[in-house]
Structure 1
């Protein structure tokens, strides 16, 4: 963990942030007292791949005419 004064941090904040890599920390001090800490958050793990068939059996009822033509669209058929 590196330490910088608040004046150095104000002057070089952009460079401080760009130099940080995951797991690095920078302690910002004022009058030799810590006032803030810059920490890079850990990278989020990639999402798990989708599992096919996880919703199997979840539809409990389907109307007998589910795939029948709609009455509202009869004139277009």
Structure 2
């Protein structure tokens, strides 16, 4: 969350709106008191997943799909 003084917000409105459209919340203050809160109505879209982005982050045992010995009586 970003806080901006009202006089500064008037000069930077376009930049502030761009930030809000990207999902950021902005508080506009006057004399150090919050007077306006800018927030997006729709949340910014998440970037698409990248193939192999989790490569090397987890490990699966070679016998992962082998029958469990604890359940032999039930098979």
Using the size of structure 2 for normalisation, the TM-score is 0.51
Aligned to 1:30: 30
Q: Which runs of 5+ in 1 are unaligned?
A: 44-77
Using the size of structure 1 for normalisation, the TM-score is 0.50
Aligned to 1:9: 9
Q: How many residues align?
A: 42
Q: How does 1:1-77 map to 2 (within 5 A)?
A: 1-20=1-20, 21-22=22-23, 24-43=24-43
SS in 2 for 1:42: coil
SS in 2 for 1:27: strand
Q: Moved runs in structure 1, 4+ residues, more than 2 A?
A: none
Q: Which runs of 5+ in 2 are unaligned?
A: 44-75
**Offset of residue 40 of structure 1:** 0.7
CA–CA separation in structure 2 for the residues paired with 1:40 and 1:7: 22
